[in-house]
Structure 1
Amino acid sequence: MGRARRNSDCTAGGSRPVVRSHRPRRVEGAEQAFVIGVLTNAADFARARAWGISDAPDHERYLADTADLLAEALERFDTVRARTFHPQDFEEFCLLNGLDPAEPAARDRYLVNPALQTQLLAYQGEELAGDFVPRLVRARENGLTLCHADLLLDGGLYGGAGASDEEHAAWVRAAYERGGEVFRRMLVGAGAGVYELRLRVDAPGGGLTAAARVLQWEDGVVRINDEDLELVCAVLCTGLALELPGVAVLHGSQGSAASCGEYLPASWAWSSGGQEWAPADRPVRLDGVAAQPGYSLGTVC
């Protein structure tokens, strides 16, 4: 379940945050990606107006303009991606690189900064103000965690300094696969249902946390957002690779329509001393969710 190094494809001319007069243009003869930053709340929109990012009168109109721009980009570009345009992150980026935040080039550089590629989400026509904006917010938070994990692993997750060392890369890849297998066994043991996984691994520089919502059908098919799966596996990988202690809680409703629509509340807890995950030795409360010790992952095929 190892991940290949992620390559940046943020090459389209449409990488500037939304300005209503801006329209995406496709360069013929080459695969092009359209990348956009989205101000996800009214406070960020108000803070960014001084930089001339949008001429919309308010955040609601801004989101409507952004939705129109994304719809047009889907028709013209091979790939459309979005990420949160976070004013504080942007100001810090400009300060670090000696850029003027009012210059469009500064915004373009911020959006395609390789260190922030983990925050990008593919856009496929979802309702912007519905589930997609909350996903953008979570993707930023997830991306910060992924950067922390990658730093702890000396670049082993996303091709940093440690990636040139084949032995190091193999070590990280093996830990990633072990982490993915731990998560798979948690879900297989839970069976059909609607769940949320909460995960915390104690790490230098602050704990690594992850959360993922999971829908699992009777036939074992699982629905989970790609970015949430990536985060869970990365946090598990880091904990196993560096032998860091952690705790995980899987909770929700167990059951399915095939069982006459009967759903039962369920919650399980596991802990790790660093080398492997096992049922917690006592009841656990994580992020306000209480759980009893879970089933043995070693008995799950």
Structure 2
Amino acid sequence: MSSHQGRARRNSDCTAGGSRPVARAPHRRQRAEGADQAFVIGVLTNAADFARARAWGVTDAPDFERYLADTAELLADALERFDTVRARMFHPQDFAEFCLLHGLDPAEAAARDRYLVNPPLRTQLLPYQGEELAGDYLPRLVRARENGLTLCHADLLLDGALYGAAQGAEGEADEEHVRWVRSAYQRGGEVFRRMLVGAGAGVYELRLRVDAPGGRLTAAARVLQWEDGVVRINDEDLELVCAVLCAGLALELPGVAVLHGSQGSAATCGEYLPAAWAWSSGGPDWGPAARPVRLDGVAARPGYSLGTVC
């Protein structure tokens, strides 16, 4: 299942990874000045979802392994033909609920196309750059769906201002609201930066929870930090962490964060030490937890003061 702009439209039934896609028209539309040619595809991420989706004719692959191979081939072709290639998890339950809400037949290709490019789900899209599907990319698609739901929740709590949605609205109140949310987002990013700077080089995972109206906001991110301060983190995970911190700080919600992993680097003769720190917030600031914390099964001692980290 796929959608794209700037080329002849493909057969949606084929682009779910069943058979090779066939262009419906032999011509290409001219690219608008300054516009990218984009390709978007929905990917089934496990055998159970594959089995359910086959009933709607999403793919004619005989099994999940063949489906992944066909999808990988399709993506490789898209990388050669399009400026931007993005993917998102095709979640059968989400799709069924989407069709019910909009009165669509899930067996129709048009329904799958509408689901794929549904604007509220844009936060679930991931760029594809040639990664192995069966490696880390499929789990990232699953996390991107979960992250996207959390981002939508946070944006709702912030009255649509998380992505600057109110910037084009008229009225001083809207502009003030956007500045307020932007300030909280920047403070959230600074909180995360100070956590990492204080930890130093190492391999870590951050787990974050903020108690919010409508349910908890949660985020997790794996971080690799070198001794020179360079950090490796998936863009979508960084975006989610900053968004959850933003919502917590803007609305002064209670929260807890744990950073744990192995502290050290090759520059320290390969010596790695287990580490786990915890911070909490009950208002406009984050500080060391008052007592030891256990979050998602990870035990951590009160962290260092973020105010002392440059």
**TM bucket normalised to smaller:** over 0.9
1:123-170 CA-partner distances (Å, limit 9, x unpaired) = 000001111000000000000000000010110113446862211111
- Is 1:193 aligned with 2:202? yes
Partner of 2:253: 244
Structure 2 length as normaliser, TM-score?
0.91
Cα distance, 1:15 vs. partner? 9.0
Partner of 1:137: 142
Task: Write the distance in 1 (CA, Å) between the matches of 2:75 and 2:107.
Answer: 23
- Is 1:63 aligned with 2:68? yes
Partner of 1:36: 41
CA separation of 1:269 and 1:65: change in aligned 2, threshold 3 A:
same
**Contact 1:23–1:69 (Cα < 8 Å) also in 2:** no
Secondary structure at 1:81's aligned position in 2? strand
Match of 2:270 among 254, 261, 267: 261
Cα distance, 1:18 vs. partner? 3.1
Match of 1:151 among 147, 156, 165: 156
Task: Write the distance in 2 (CA, Å) between the matches of 1:33 and 1:27.
Answer: 13
- Is 1:296 aligned with 2:305? yes
Which 5+ residue runs of structure 2 have no aligned equivalent?
none
**Contact 2:181–2:250 (Cα < 8 Å) also in 1:** yes
Partner of 2:220: 211
Cα distance, 1:262 vs. partner? 0.5
Partner of 1:4: none
Give the aligned residue type for 2:184.
A
Cα distance, 1:183 vs. partner? 0.1
Partner of 1:5: none
**Contact 2:31–2:37 (Cα < 8 Å) also in 1:** no
Give the aligned residue type for 1:134.
P
Secondary structure at 1:20's aligned position in 2? coil
Secondary structure at 1:148's aligned position in 2? helix
**Contact 1:162–1:168 (Cα < 8 Å) also in 2:** no
Task: Write the distance in 2 (CA, Å) between the matches of 1:182 and 1:37.
Answer: 34
1:13-32 matched pairs, under 5 angstroms: 13=9, 16=12, 17-23=16-22, 27-30=29-32, 31-32=36-37
Task: Write the distance in 2 (CA, Å) between the matches of 1:32 and 1:58.
Answer: 31
- Is 1:111 aligned with 2:110? no
Task: Write the distance in 2 (CA, Å) between the matches of 1:257 and 1:83.
Answer: 36
**Contact 1:15–1:36 (Cα < 8 Å) also in 2:** no
Partner of 2:282: 273
Give the aligned residue type for 2:21.
H
**Contact 1:282–1:292 (Cα < 8 Å) also in 2:** yes
Percent identical among aligned pairs is 82
Task: Write the distance in 1 (CA, Å) between the matches of 2:183 and 2:4.
Answer: 29
Task: Write the distance in 2 (CA, Å) between the matches of 1:50 and 1:274.
Answer: 49
Partner of 2:5: 11
Secondary structure at 1:206's aligned position in 2? coil
1:50-86 CA-partner distances (Å, limit 9, x unpaired) = 1111110000100000000000000000000000000
Bigger relative CO (Cα 8 Å, ≥ 6 apart):
1
Secondary structure at 2:55's aligned position in 1? helix
- Is 1:82 aligned with 2:84? no
Which 5+ residue runs of structure 1 have no aligned equivalent?
1-8
Secondary structure at 1:73's aligned position in 2? helix
Task: Write the distance in 2 (CA, Å) between the matches of 1:258 and 1:195.
Answer: 17
Aligned Cα root-mean-square deviation (Å): 1.7
Cα distance, 1:27 vs. partner? 4.0
Larger radius of gyration: 2
CA separation of 1:15 and 1:267: change in aligned 2, threshold 3 A:
farther
**Contact 2:212–2:253 (Cα < 8 Å) also in 1:** yes
